[in-house]
Amino acid sequence: MKNMKNLMKQAQQLQAKMARMQEEMGQKTIEASASGGMIKVVANGKQEIVSVHIEKEVVDPEDVEMLQDLILAAVNEALVQSQKMVSDEMSKLTGGMSIPGLM
């Protein structure tokens, strides 16, 4: 019975730490770019895109598809980096232990 209480207490502490980490991740951002920095995308740790910056020199009305591809590449890279940032923080929190359903 004592072991069960300790286990429950540890689970509650982990849950509180995870909630705090998730809140912190919403404040942390990463930036990804495409076309040598002509397109920049910023994402936060909640995998939300918070800003997109496009230099006017990369906008070609005759080649909209290229611009779309560059934006897509930058957005995807920002999301990948954001997921890695969260994964790294989660690993620190759990001591590298993989817990199903957390990520």
CATH assignment of the domain containing 44:
3.30.1310.10
Instruction: Show pLDDT as tens, one digit a residue, over the chain (103 residues).
Output: 788 888 888 888 888 888 888 888 889 999 999 999 999 999 999 999 999 999 999 999 999 999 999 999 999 999 999 999 988 888 887 776 665 555 4
> Could you tell me if 73 and 41 are in contact, meaning their C-beta atoms sit under 8 angstroms apart?
no
Full-prediction pTM beyond 0.85? no
Task: Tell me how far apart the alpha carbons of residues 23 and 56 are, in angstroms, rounded to a whole number.
Answer: 35
For residue 33, the surrounding DSSP H or E stretch is strand 29-34
Asked whether residue 58 is assigned to any structural domain, the reply reads: yes
The answer to the question of residue 99 being in a domain is no
- Overall domain count for the chain: 1
What's at 73, amino acid-wise?
A
In the numeric block, which tokens belong to residue 72? 């897509």
CA distance 8 to 23: 23
